[in-house]
């Protein structure tokens, strides 16, 4: 259950949607802050269940902020409370940027400001309470389209080693020797599965053959 919520929103763009929605959920502790630095101070003082934050904050000349925007605030918050749930409530992001927020910052929901955002916010909180993520419709579609893979140096190292005939155990040793992390057998298996899935392959052999064919490795 969510009992405490911290809301970071620029004074200018404060909405009634958030307040109304939270009222419906009868949440005990709701705190509003207008600056990212204040949000960080609050998070340091006490643990919250949920952070709802905007992405862009007006730069105030008389109060220069150390934490300047929503992304920085999310990173700082995650560092303080790894289990904190985070909803981004903003009108400023493009769909691919939103995908990035899910991928990179591991946000739990993105709710775009706009018509009927109170309803969407409600759905998001409900999803989070069920231990799920919430995606806006266009983002969901975009993420569904994401096929193929963006190969990192790490991926290419693993695949090249397997192509040479090494077992996954030997690959793990190789990574360990070269101080490449994560080098555990489990993380290698997991990474290979991720890549296989994005191409719809069932076996590593298929993936290796594909990568060789395409000139990826």
147 makes contact with other proteins (CB under 8 A):
yes
DSSP class of 81: -
Considering only residues 18-77, where is the footprint of other proteins by CB under 8 A?
none
Compare residues 42 and 92 and give the one whose CB is closer to other proteins. Answer: 92
Could you give the angle at the alpha carbon of 176 between the alpha carbons of 170 and 180, nearest 5°?
115
100 makes contact with other proteins (CB under 8 A):
yes
Give me the least distance between CB of 210 and other proteins, in Å please. Answer: 8
Give me the least distance between CB of 87 and other proteins, in Å please. Answer: 19
16 makes contact with other proteins (CB under 8 A):
no
Residue 134: φ, ψ to 5°: -120, 130
Virtual torsion, Cα 60, 63, 67, 68, nearest 10 deg: 10
148 makes contact with other proteins (CB under 8 A):
yes
> How far is 88 from 121, CA to CA, in rounded Å?
10
194 makes contact with other proteins (CB under 8 A):
no
Compare residues 32 and 102 and give the one whose CB is closer to other proteins. Answer: 102
Could you give the angle at the alpha carbon of 166 between the alpha carbons of 162 and 171, nearest 5°?
80
Residue count, binding to other proteins (CB under 8 A): 28
> How far is 122 from 109, CA to CA, in rounded Å?
11
Interaction site with other proteins (CB under 8 A): 91-92, 94-97, 99-100, 103-104, 114-115, 142, 145-153, 156, 198-199, 214-216
């Amino acid at each position: 259950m969510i009992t405490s919520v911290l809301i970071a929103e620029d004074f200018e763009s404060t909405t009634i949607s958030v307040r109304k929605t939270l009222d419906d959920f009868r949440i005990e502790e709701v705190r509003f802050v207008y600056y990212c630095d204040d949000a960080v101070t609050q998070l340091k003082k006490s643990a919250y269940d949920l952070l709802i934050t905007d992405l862009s904050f007006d730069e105030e000349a008389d109060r220069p902020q150390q934490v300047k925007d929503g992304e920085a605030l999310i990173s700082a918050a995650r560092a303080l409370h790894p289990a904190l749930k985070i909803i981004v409530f903003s009108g400023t992001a493009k769909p691919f940027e939103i995908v990035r927020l899910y991928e990179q910052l591991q946000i739990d929901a993105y709710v775009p400001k706009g018509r009927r955002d109170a309803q969407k916010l409600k759905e998001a909180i409900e999803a989070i309470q069920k231990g799920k993520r919430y995606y806006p419709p266009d983002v969901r579609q975009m993420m569904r389209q994401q096929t193929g893979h963006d190969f990192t140096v790490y991926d290419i190292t693993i695949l090249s080693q397997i192509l040479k005939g090494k077992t996954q155990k030997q690959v793990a040793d190789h990574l360990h020797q070269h101080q490449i992390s994560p080098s555990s057998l489990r993380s290698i298996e997991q990474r290979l599965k991720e890549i296989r899935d994005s191409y719809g392959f069932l076996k590593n052999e298929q993936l290796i053959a594909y990568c060789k064919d395409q000139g990826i490795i």
